[in-house]
Chain A
C-alpha cells in the first residue's frame, strides 16, 4: 500500500513540475517582454527598462522560474503587474465562486449521469433506454455556453424566475449564492452528464454480463439487489476514470460559463488579466487550474485502491 502511494505521489509531483515548466516557458520565455506589453509599443525605452527592473524581469529566466516555484511553496505568488496587489489574494477572492460552482456542477453531473446510466442499463433495449440514450446523444452535441444561453432565455427572459447573471455572494447566507450558481452549474453539468451517462450505461452493461452476476442471482438475490450490491461497485472503476478526465473539461467549462453569466470567478479573472496584459496573474491562474486537474486525477487513482481490492497487491 505504501509503495502504491509513494509511486502515485512521485508521479503527481513530477507532473506538477512539468506543468509549471511549460506554463512558465510559454508565458514568460516566448518573445515579447511583459513590461513592453504592459506599456504599449510607443513607450519610451527608458520607462520600459525601469518597469522591467521594477517587476524583476531583468533577472535570468532560471532565477525567475525558481523564485516562482519558491513563492508557490510558501504561498507568495508575487504582485499583480497591473493592480500591484498580491496575486494570491486576487485568486482567493475568485475561488469562493469558482470552487462552489465546480463542485455543484460535478454533483449534478454525477447524480444525473448515474441515474440515467443505471436506469438505461437496467432497461437495456427497452423504450426508456432508447429514449434516454437519444437524449444523451443530443446532450453531447450541445455547446455548454449555448445551453446556458437557452436556460437564461427560459428562466430569466420568459419565466423571470432567476437572474440572467451576476453573483449574490455568500454574505447573505448560503441560499442566494447557490441560487445564483444554479443555472451556471446546470448548464455545465447537463452536457458532461450526457457523456458520463453513456459511460455508466456501457460499464454497467459490461458488468451485468459477468459470471458473478449469475452467481449472485443463483443465490436468490433479486435483479435490483444484484445491481446495487454487486454490479455498481464493479462498474465504478471506468466511471470514475471518466469523471476524473471530465473534471478538466469542467474547469475549462467554468471559464466559459462564468463569462456567459458574468460571474466574477477565476475564469473572468483570467480574461481581465489577458486584456490587461497582466501575465503574472494569467500564469498563476493557469497553473492553479492545471494543478487542480492533476490533483483530481491523482485522487481518482488513490480511490481505485479503496474500491478495488485487487489493486493493493497487484499494482506495484
Chain B
C-alpha cells in the first residue's frame, strides 16, 4: 500500500450527449487508488458512478467529452487512442458488469469467451488458453468446469453466469478490477456468495478494486475506502470506517437512514430522502443536493461547494458541515 498510486484521477469531468441535450454527468471527481487498495463508489442510480467507471475503462460513447486527468501507473489515459486502450482493457484493467444475463454473447461458448482476453493479451496458443479457461472457471466455482467449458451461456443460471464473467475479467491477472453493481441483478441468496468470491480473489491476487453499489451494506463490508456520489459530484469521501462513524454530508446521512435494517421495530417507517434525483441535463448551479437538503441555505445555491477536510483523508463537499456533523454525530 505504498509508493505512487496505481490510478490517479484529477478533476475528472464527463459531458454526455443525451436525448435531452448535453449533460454534465460527472464533474470535479478526484481520487487515487493504490495497489491492493479497494474503493467503493456509492450513490443512487444516475449519480455518475457508472459513468466514472466507464471513463476509467475508456468505454464511454464517442460523443462523450472527457476533461481532467486519469493516470494509470503513471500514464495518462484521457485522450489515449483506442488501440492503446485496448492493450490495457481486459489485461491490466478489467470490469464486471451488472447484468450477467446479457453480458455474455449468446452465440459463443463460455470457454471461448473466457479464453478470448487470454488470446488477445497473453500471446498463448488456443489449446493453452482453453486449459487456462477451464482452470479459471474452476477457480470461480463453476461446477464441472472441464465438462461445461463448451456449453453456451443460456445453459447457466444468473449466478453461474456472473461467475463466468468474473473468470473472464480475471483471466489476464489485471491490476485493477472494476465491479459495477456485480450482484444487483442476482438473487439475494447468491449475492453474498458472489461478493465473497470477488473479495477472496482480490485478496488472493493482490488486485486493486473499485466496487460500485447503491447498497451501503455491500460497501461497508467490502472496501477500505469509499466515495459517495450525488448529481455527478463526489459529496463525501474517506476511509470506510471514518465515513460510517462520522458522516459529514447531509446526503450520506440521508442515504444511511433510508437503508432498510434487519431487526428494526415493526411498523418503523423507512426514512426516505425527500425529492428526486436531479436530471443531469439541468443541474443547479450550486450544490447538487440543495433541492433535497434539510439544512440548505441561500449560499449553498450560489456555487458548487468546495471539499472540506473533516478528518484524516476524509473530505465532505458541504459548507454546512458545522451544522450537519454536529447534528449527525451519532445518527446510527
Q: Are A and B co-members of a single complex?
A: yes
A interface residue numbers (CB < 8 A to B): 210-212, 214-223, 230, 233-234, 307-310, 313-314
CA distance A215 to B86 in the complex (A): 12
Given A215-B97, A220-B91, A307 and B82 contact (CB-CB distance below 8 Å)? no
CA distance A234 to B94 in the complex (A): 24
Question: B105–A219 contact, CB under 8 A?
Answer: no
CA distance A63 to B107 in the complex (A): 51
Q: Which residues of B contact A230 (CB under 8 A)?
A: 105, 107-108
Partner among A218, A220, A308, A314 whose Cβ is within 8 Å of the Cβ of B87: A220
Residue ID in chain A nearest B98 by CB atoms: A211
Given A219-B117, A222-B82, A211 and B102 contact (CB-CB distance below 8 Å)? yes
Given A211-B97, A214-B97, A215-B97, A220 and B106 contact (CB-CB distance below 8 Å)? no
Question: B59–A221 contact, CB under 8 A?
Answer: no
Question: B107–A220 contact, CB under 8 A?
Answer: no
Kindly provide the distance from the CB of B300 to the nearest chain A CB, expressed in whole angstroms. 37
Q: Which residues of B contact A222 (CB under 8 A)?
A: 82-83, 86
Among A210, A217, A220, A308, residue most surrounded by chain B Cβ atoms (within 10 Å): A220
Q: How many A-B residue pairs have CB under 8 A?
A: 74
Is B121 part of the contact surface with A, judged by Cβ < 8 Å? yes
Is B29 part of the contact surface with A, judged by Cβ < 8 Å? no
24 A-B pairs with C-beta separation under 8 A: A211-B97, A211-B99, A214-B97, A214-B103, A215-B168, A216-B105, A216-B116, A217-B59, A217-B89, A218-B59, A218-B169, A219-B116, A219-B120, A219-B168, A220-B86, A220-B90, A220-B91, A220-B121, A221-B116, A221-B120, A222-B86, A223-B82, A233-B107, A234-B105
Residue ID in chain A nearest B121 by CB atoms: A220
Among B57, B99, B105, B108, residue most surrounded by chain A Cβ atoms (within 10 Å): B105
CB-contacts of B44-101 with A (<8 A):
57, 59, 82-83, 86-91, 94-95, 97, 99
CA distance A141 to B204 in the complex (A): 63
Residue ID in chain A nearest B59 by CB atoms: A217
Is B38 part of the contact surface with A, judged by Cβ < 8 Å? no
Partner among A221, A309, A313 whose Cβ is within 8 Å of the Cβ of B106: A309
CA distance A106 to B86 in the complex (A): 38
Is B31 part of the contact surface with A, judged by Cβ < 8 Å? no
Residue ID in chain B nearest A233 by CB atoms: B107
Question: B82–A211 contact, CB under 8 A?
Answer: no
Q: Which residues of A contact B208 (CB under 8 A)?
A: none
Residue ID in chain A nearest B117 by CB atoms: A219
Kindly provide the distance from the CB of B59 to the nearest chain A CB, expressed in whole angstroms. 6
Q: Mark B183-221, 1 if CB is under 8 A from A, else 0.
A: 000000000000000000000000000000000000000
Residue ID in chain A nearest B165 by CB atoms: A215
Is B256 part of the contact surface with A, judged by Cβ < 8 Å? no
Residue ID in chain A nearest B85 by CB atoms: A220
Residue ID in chain A nearest B58 by CB atoms: A217
